[in-house]
Each structure stands twice: as C-alpha cells, then as structure tokens.
Structure 1
Amino acid sequence: MTHPFLALDSASFDLPDGTTLLSSLTEQFDSQHTALVGRNGIGKSVLARLLTGELQPTAGRCIRSGPVFYLPQQVDRLPGETVASLARVKPILEALARIDAGSVDPQDFDLVADQWDLRARLKHALEQAGLGHLDAATPAQQLSGGEAMRVALLGAMLSSADFLILDEPTNHLDGRSRQALSEQLRQWKRGLIVVSHDRALLEQMERIVELSSHGLRSYGGNYSFYAAARAAEQDSAQRDLDHARQALQREERAVREQRERQQRRQAQGARDGKTANQAKILLGRQKERSENSGGRLQQRLEETRQQHREQVRSAAEQLREDATIRLQGPQFSAAAQRRVAQLEDVELPFAPPALRRIDLVITGQQRIGITGPNGSGKSTLLKVIAGEIAPLAGRVSRDPACAWLDQRLATLDPERSAIEQLLAANRTVAPERLRTYLAQIGLDARKGALPTSLLSGGERLKAALACALYADPPARLLLLDEPGNHLDLASVEALEVMLAQYAGALVVVSHDEVFLERLNLTHRLMAGEGGWRLEAS
C-alpha cells in the first residue's frame, strides 16, 4: 500500500483486574518513522500490542491499513525452532520446498504469493548482517540472545507488512549490530513505530510520541527536538508551579489577616454589647448577623484557597515525575594513583582465544567504559574483577570496598526493602539520614519501604547503587554491567546524574554510546580481534 497508516480512535484498555491502563487515546501514525517513549509501566508495550491487533481495546477502536509485523522485547528460542522460525519465514520456505517437489496445492501458492526469491533474500540478509554462518535450518537454541534478536529483525525487514512495530529492539545488540539495525531502518520506506529508550536510535526518528498518564502527545522531530521541547515545557511548568505556590501563600496570608480582623470586630462587638443599653433581643440579632457574615466570609475564603491549591496541584502534575537527583558523596578519599584493582597475566574463562589474556590496573579515579561485540568476554571480565568467578590463570587483587551490579541486580534481596538492606549495609549512620539519602535519589519513604521486587527497573537500580555507595565502607570501585538496559529515558538520565557525581573508580560495560559519553570516562577498554586495548578518552 502506498500510504500505510494506523489509527487509534478513543481507544482504551483495562487490565484484567479492572484497572484502566490506557484511556481514550486518539492518534494517527503514517509512513513517518515514529518512536514511542514513556515511563516504564505506563503501557507502551500494551499499546504496541493494541496497534498490532494482538490485544483488543476495551473501548474505542484501532484501524489498520494492512498487515503489521510486531517484534516483542524478548525473542524466545524454543526447542525445535530454527532460524527460519525466528525470522517468521518457515511456512513460506516449506511451501516453496513442496512446490519444488511438485506440489500444485493452491494453498502453497497463496503462501508464497510474490516471495519466490525468499531463500536467496534470507541468505543474503544473513550474510550482510555478519550471520553468514547460519542458514534457515540452524536450530534456534544454538543462537545467542543477540543473534536471535538480529535474526528476528531480519525477518521483520523481509516481511511485506505495511507497518513494523519494534519493542526495544536494541536491548540485546552490540554496537555493530545497533549500527546495522539503524541502517536497515533507514532503508525501510513503510510505516515504522519503535518503542525505545536508545537515544542514538531515537535521534534518527522523524517523530517522537510520548505516552504518559495524560495520554499521547506528539513531538514533530527527532530525540534532540523532543529533549529541547520537553526541557522548555518543564521550565514553563516549574515557573507555573512557583507562581501558583506564591499565589497560594499570598492567599493563606490574606485569609489569616481577614480572620484576625473578623475576630477583632467580633471581640469589639462583644465588649460594646456589655456596655451598651440595648435590649437583649437586639443584641442577639446583631450577634447572629455578625456570625452569619463571618461564616459567609469564611466560606468564600475557603473556596478561593481551594482554587489556589488546585492550581498548585495542576501545575505540579505537569512536572516530570523524577525529581532532581542528588547523590551524597561517599566519605572516602579517592586518591588518583591508589590502586583499587589489578589483573596480572590473567586468563579469562569462556572468552574467545584472542581475548583470553589481559593485564589491567585500575586506579582510584579512573572511569573506564568497556565496549566490544557480544560474546567477547566483557561480562566475564567484570565478574573476574569482582571475584564472582576465578580466572583460569594469573592473579587478581581488588579493594575490599568493591561493588558489582550485574544486569539482574542479584545483590538485591527481592523480599526486603531498600531501607532494610541499606540499614544492614551501614550501621554507623542514623536511619533517618539514610532515608533522606534514598529520597534524594528518587526513592521516597513509601518506595523505600516496599520489597525491592515491587520496584521498577530504574528504582531497583537506584536501590542497588544506594546499598553500594552508602555502605560502610562505601564502594571505592563500582562495576556495572549494562546498567541502562530496560530503563526508561528518565531513569537512564537519573543514572547518568548519579554516576557523574560518584567520586570513586568506575568500570561500566555498555553498548549505549550516548550513555558512555555522558559519564566523563577517562579510558575506553575495547575488545577486538587483536585482543584488549586500553585508550585514554
């Protein structure tokens, strides 16, 4: 179809327990490449599934011009599945095989339609993606998570859908695969919706649509345009909130002054009544009129004050939910030349031969970003530094105050709250001060008291960092493995602020170049065909 489109017409969606997740959404999507952004838990993936037809709206409708190809966040590699299954081309390839064997079944011809060259196109796509060692029959369980996602993406590109909807497609991809995906999407001329927090990918989009508790809002540009527009909106919302609070304060002051004047008049009237020679019935009527007048005045004042309170509440709602992050500096001296870890003639398990051996010294104020292809041993290297696994050979030494946060945040006890775990990690600081520290990084009293299993991904990461940085002693070496995966934009930005304020040594594995650039790295440790290479940033 020449002009693909998707449209939401007052579409709502209720969860099984009756809670309304999406309410009266109206929006249209065309061939403009569009990104869908929003906080975790706001309903982006549910909205994507509504657009594809996997879910039906509770009310309203979703209109499609033609077929939609939906790629979820997680690509399952089930027993018996193959590369062809992951790419969703297996039925067509099987129909082609039957036709080659002499089938004249009309259903086979209907399945193939105009895709007679699909075998060649799949082979070429695999080779172009650096996956030439795979073929249609390769068992899916032989693929890594990153390879499975890349094969699924190839299937999306090979489809004849009017629309592609990709849900966090870069989460499991390394840098080279992310670049390949970006190029593939540039060549896609039909409708595209990408649910993502990957700012490099968002930068090449033509439109950003934000889903929030207020509904959908469209920004006609890429990520830079969206970020500038949101910053301007937040500045304006902060000014409105400041003005509303000032107006409420003035009104509160006026109410107090008016009440005091009223009380003085009533007191004066009571004194005059005692001395005046008036009949008791007249005095009673005067008192009643005074009380009625005071009651009406009090009602008008309360209504005005309530209006100002509503203005404050409305202005506050327009501000982003994430408060300014302030990290209390750990009380230790991060001497620049002090060694916090050293690897001598270390041989890494599970790593490719070229990347098996490494020598590395990490000092007190180094900030190292580790990059390289999937499967090159980056996560293994972090585990060896942290002491989680032993090297095959060589010697590893590290500062005892070393904290390792893996992608699953296994250091957190899901059944215990952040404040419980922080109190266990630091018995020298007053509990109230530790609660203040949590609040300053975005975990208020309610969230800090919840079991960490009930927190969002960004909140769990903040809790894990707090337990490392506010421990006694605080971590002088922080090891992070893909900390931005599965976080929304606001949480990634909050993480960047926290890590920028951290005074110790930092080693972080990430494929997100924008994230790495914002950490003020001192060095890059790159995994390549020639081995490990450390360079100053």
Structure 2
Amino acid sequence: MANPTLPSTSVTCSGLSFDWPDGTPLFDGLSLTIGRGRTGLVGTNGTGKSTLLRLLAGRLLPSRGSVTAGGSLAYLPQNITLDTTLSVEQALGIAGRRAALSAIEAGDVDEKHFATIGDDWDVEERARATLDSLGLDDVELDRTVGEMSGGETVLLRLAALLLERPDVLLLDEPTNNLDLFARRRLYQAVDSWRSGVLVVVSHDRELLERVDRIAELRNGSVSWYGGGWSDYREALATQQEAAERMLRAADADVRRQKRELEESHIKVARRERHGRKVEAERRLPKILAGARKRAAQESAGKLRGVHEDRLSEARERREEAADAIHSDAEIRVSLPRTAVPTGRTVLTLHRLRPRFGKLRDGELHVHGPERIALVGRNGAGKTTLLRTLTGQLAPLEGEARTFVPWRFLPQRLDVLDERLSVVANVARMAPGVDDNHIRSQLARFLFKGARAEQLAGTLSGGERFRAALAATMLAAPAPQLVMMDEPTNNLDMASVRQLTSALESYEGALLIAGHDLPFLESVGITRWLLVGEELSETTADEVRSMLEATEAG
C-alpha cells in the first residue's frame, strides 16, 4: 500500500488581491507558488515586496484570495523592535525549556517539566550553536537585549527563527543595519539553508547572489529568473534588448497604420467627389442615386473601420511593448560649483572622542576631493562620528573642524519638510537661487513639471530618496563636502544606480559610512578608514580579507 502523500513544503497565494486603505489596488488576482530553495524577491520601491511578504506571513489579510503555507512559517520583518528588558534566552523563546532542564537536573521530576521540554533536550546546545554561527558567540543567554546593538538584535531575532526550524522562512531586508561582519554571518546562514522555503526581500547584491532564483515583482505580477543576481541582470539585459526592438517595431507599425488611415480618408474623399460628379452628369433617378450613395458610404465606412481597427491594434501592441521596458532613468546633473582644489583642507579631527562609540583618539585630515569610506562593526560609532562632525552631538574631548560648505544626508532622510513641495524643499536649502534654475536641475533628478510640486509627505520611498538627495546636492552655497550615513539602506537597485550616477557628477569631498561594499567601490572610494578606538587606514582588499577570516572562523 502506498504511503499517503505529504503536503509539499511551499507557500502559495491564489487569486490574491489587496487594496490600500484609500481603495487603490496593489495586487489583483495574483497567483504564485514558491517552492523549496532560496528565492530572492526584487522590485522597485513601491511595488509591494514587503506587503507581499506580510500577506504571505499572515500579518496582513488580503481583500480577496488566499495564502497557504505547506508547513510551519517564520517571518523576519524589516523593522524589528524587541523589548529591551528581555533576556537573550527569552528573546530566543527558550527560557521555559532551560528552566525545566535546570529543574530536572536539580532532581525535580515533575511531569510538567518533561512536557515543557518535549523532545528538545539539546535546546541550549542548539541555541548556543545558532548564536555562534551568526557571530553572537560572546552573547550570554542571561544578557539583556538592551545591552545589544541594533545589528545584534536583528541577528538575535533571526537566531530565534532558525531555532524554530521553520519549513518556510521569510526575510525582509535582513541586512539593513548590519555591519560588514554581521552581513557575512547572515550570508553564511543563507548559504547553509538546505531544506524548506527561504524567501528574502533585499537590495543587497552579495546576498542576492546566493539565492537559487529571482522573483521580480512588477505591476502586480511576478516574473521568474533562474540563478542569482548576476544571472538575473544578464537575463534582464537580453530581455530588455528584445523589448526595445519590439517597441521600435511597434512604433514603426503605428506610424504605418496612421499613414494608411490618412490615405484611406483621401481615397474615400476622392470617391465621394467622383460619385457626386457622375450623379450630376448622368442625372440618375433619386432612388438609384440614393442607393449608390449609401453603398459608397458603407464601403467607405468599412475601409475607414478596417484602418482604424488596425491603428488601434498597433497602438495596443505599442503599449504592451512599452510596458515590457524597465524604466530605470538615471540622474544626470552638472555640479561644477562643488569642485574642491586638490590641496585644500576640507576637514580636520584632532584627538576627537565622540560621546558614544569606541573612538577615543580620532585624528583625520581630509584634503581636496577625497572620497572616504567609514567602515567597522555595529556599535563602533560611525553614525555618532558623523553626528559629531555635523555638530548634532558635542564631543567629550577634542575637536572637529570643517573648512568648506558641507551637507549631511542621514539614514532617515529627515532633511525634508513633509509639508512642503519638492521644489520648495530645495529652495529652502538654496536661498537666493533662481526658481527656474532649481526646476531645471530637479528635472535631472527626475522631478519634471508637476512632479516637482508634489508634497514631500506624499512621496514614495524612491521619490523621497531622490528629493532628499536633490536638496542635499543642490544646496547653496554648493556643498564641497557631503557626508552620508548608510545611504543605500532601504533603497531598491534602481535608486542605488541613481545615487551612483549622481555622485559621478559630484566634484567635492565625500565621507560615507556604509556596509555596502559593492556600492562603496562603485563610487570610487580613495581612502578606507576602519572605525575602532582609532581611525585606522585600511583598503577594500583588507576589508574583504577580514570578512573572509570571519567566514572561515
């Protein structure tokens, strides 16, 4: 007798529809099945990646349709909040089992302790091994969450999910707020995923290289691509070349159908003139003349109808071809006033000790248009250092001095006044600059015409980023030093490319705190500084070597 078929490990949505509170539809009848293996879910900001994950996790209810998970499901949201008073063992969900084990070891054989443990007698060893694998080997189970950094709490929550041994694991932007070393630990966890379904929403290219397939969410539907990020980009490039050829052919067809429709109008007009002339010369009876006129009109109507239908069909084909083109417009802006002479002193730090972080004796001299990356572990104090340099925090000791106009783009993009329009936000940062000049520059940041009048509070994530970047780069006086804190956090790939292209036009000095190595290398970093008790010079290769040592360890 055959064994009964077990439900396959997968997560499925059938006829899934979801509307925003204002009634705007996001998904309309979406159906897909995600099977075993590692799937990277990608798409531009605002396409609904996080919302789809929340629907799959049961955190949101669909307007219509259903979601089914084959097996147990665990979900890591993008913004994690843990009670800071919890102990690590409580956050891991193993406090009760540890207490039961301790009671049994002390001689208490109450049945409730055995019921609490079940078959999980090695829970403490598993918890320790899971924490170690994520680089939390120095975190004691009795320690409180409040003593951990933001990146460590992300890894702690992931450890709690892995301990559940879920059949389906959903991760939403898991590398946000993780330092380079913690990211490597996360990569290892993804590499070691061998069973069940793993779905990860991410903009981290190195993480996406590790998946088995890419699911691209666009216009409420999903397209599948085999392999990791590089395979996806290669397939997409080929697809886009074909789509662009189809669009050119469709454009040519629309023009041809327009010409043929115009020619048909001319033919009909000629026939009507000829018919009137013949009727006048022959002086046909009214009944016969009327019948001929109706026949001619019907023939002309059919001819026009055929060509109008053909033009309509050609336009539909053109729209379909245009929809297949990915619109990843790049920012192209000229910023010559930001140029800094090579020998000019831009920034100095002398014996600086910020209020928080590990830095005790910071020394730094920045000259000319240098591009400096601040890298280091979570908690080292990169953000605190930038806030000290910008005057938001007073140092405990030492001093920091800037000698050129500067601007700071923080992680939260809170440089914008949400009550003002995009153009008004830029004008606020650039007093005295001509309105027409601001609008012409905003067009190069992809805010053309009425888009520049949108209120900042109504912008999507990608639009908000571009508006904040425009307000920073177009400020007056022109910034000859721009400081950025984790600028690629929460950005989709198109926005990262837009940021990179904008920085290609920037001629001043850059100071970027970041964990995204591919991005930092793409913007031409000239000096790498490791933030610890000192600011020590390093290189991209040395950073990668340290990361490889972390993986090997």
- 1:226: how far off? 0.9
What is residue 303 of structure 2 aligned with on the other side?
A: 297
Once residues 264 and 159 of structure 2 are traced to their aligned partners in structure 1, the CA distance between those partners, rounded to angstroms, is: 72
Task: Report the CA distance between 1:68 and its aligned residue.
Answer: 1.6
1:227 and 2:233 aligned: yes
The secondary structure found in structure 2 opposite 1:332 is: helix
Query: Does the 8 Å contact 1:146/1:173 carry over to 2?
Result: yes
For the 8 Å contact 1:368–1:523, the answer to whether it is kept is yes
Q: CA deviation at 1:456?
A: 2.0
> Which stretch shows the higher mean deviation, 100-109 or 493-502?
100-109
Which amino acid in 1 is paired with 2:175? T
| Structure-2 separation of matches of 1:226 and 1:456 | 25
User: Against the structure 1 CA distance between its residues 16 and 517, is the aligned structure 2 distance closer, same or farther, given a 3 Å change threshold?
Assistant: closer
Letter in 1 for 2:232: Y
Please give the TM-score of this superposition, normalised by the length of structure 1: 0.89
Range with bigger deviation, 89-98 or 247-256: 89-98
Match of 2:242 among 229, 236, 245: 236
Once structures 1 and 2 are overlaid, which stretch shifts more, 238-247 or 275-284? 275-284
User: Matched residues in 2 for 1:264 and 1:355: separation?
Assistant: 91
Letter in 2 for 1:166: L
Partner of residue 545, structure 2: none
Q: 1:358, 1:532 within 8 Å by CA — same for their partners in 2?
A: no
CA RMSD of aligned residues (A): 3.1
Q: Of 284, 308, 319, which aligns to 2:314? A: 308
1:351-366 aligned at under 5 Å gives the runs 351-364=356-369, 366=370
Alpha carbons of 1:482 and 1:349: their partners in 2 closer, same or farther (altered >3 Å)? same
The one of 161, 164, 171 aligned to 2:166? 161
In structure 1, which of residues 372, 397, 403 is the aligned counterpart of residue 402 of structure 2?
A: 397
Cα distance between partner residues in 1 of 2:96 and 2:322: 54
Match of 2:211 among 191, 205, 208: 205
| Matching of residues 357-506 of structure 1 within 5 Å | 357-364=362-369, 366-391=370-395, 392-400=397-405, 402-426=406-430, 431=435, 434-506=438-510
State the partner residue of 1:524: 528
> Against the structure 1 CA distance between its residues 424 and 16, is the aligned structure 2 distance closer, same or farther, given a 3 Å change threshold?
closer
Cα distance, 1:395 vs structure 2: 4.5
Do 2:421 and 2:452's aligned partners in 1 also have CA atoms closer than 8 Å?
A: yes
Deviation at 1:224, TM superposition (A): 0.8
Structure 1 residue runs without a partner (length 5+): none
Cα separation, partners in 2 of 1:92 and 1:143, compared to 1, 3 Å: same
Q: Encode CA deviations 1:141-181: one digit per residue, 9 max, x unaligned.
A: 23221121121122223222223221111101000001111
The correspondence of residues 97-246 of structure 1 with structure 2, limited to 5 A, is 97=102, 99-100=104-105, 108-127=113-132, 129-191=134-196, 192-246=198-252
1:350 and 1:377 in contact (8 A); partners too: no
> Secondary structure at 1:14's aligned position in 2?
strand
**Is the contact between residue 209 and residue 216 of structure 1 (CA under 8 Å) also seen in structure 2?**
yes
> Of 11, 22, 27, which aligns to 1:7?
11
Distance 2:490 2:126 in 1: 32
* Alpha carbons 1:11, 1:58 under 8 Å: kept: no
Deviation at 1:203, TM superposition (A): 0.7
In 2, Cα distance between equivalents of 1:315 and 1:433: 35
Name which of 315, 323, 340 aligns with 1:317. Answer: 323
Q: What's the CA shift string for 1:16-58, capped at 9, x where partnerless?
A: 6455433434433343122222223323223323333444555
Aligned-residue identity in percent: 33
Q: Which moved more, 1:269-278 or 1:460-469?
A: 269-278
**Aligned in 2, Cα 1:58/1:339: closer, same or farther, shift over 3 Å?**
same
Bigger Cα displacement from structure 2, 85-94 vs 29-38: 85-94
Alignment equivalent of 1:46, drawn from 31, 42, 51: 51
| Mapped contact 2:47–2:217 kept (Cα < 8 A) | yes
**How big is the shift at 1:202?**
0.7
Structure 1 equivalent of residue 253 of structure 2? 247
1:183 deviation in Å? 1.4
Distance 1:99 1:500, change over 3 A: farther
Corresponding residue for residue 84 of structure 1:
89
Query: Is the 1:348–1:380 Cα contact (8 Å) retained in structure 2?
Result: no
What residue in structure 1 maps to residue 546 of structure 2?
none
Q: Between Structure 1 and Structure 2, how many residues are aligned?
A: 534
Measure, in 2, the Cα distance between the counterparts of 1:280 and 1:28. 70
Q: Report if the CA contact (8 A) 2:481-2:510 is conserved.
A: yes
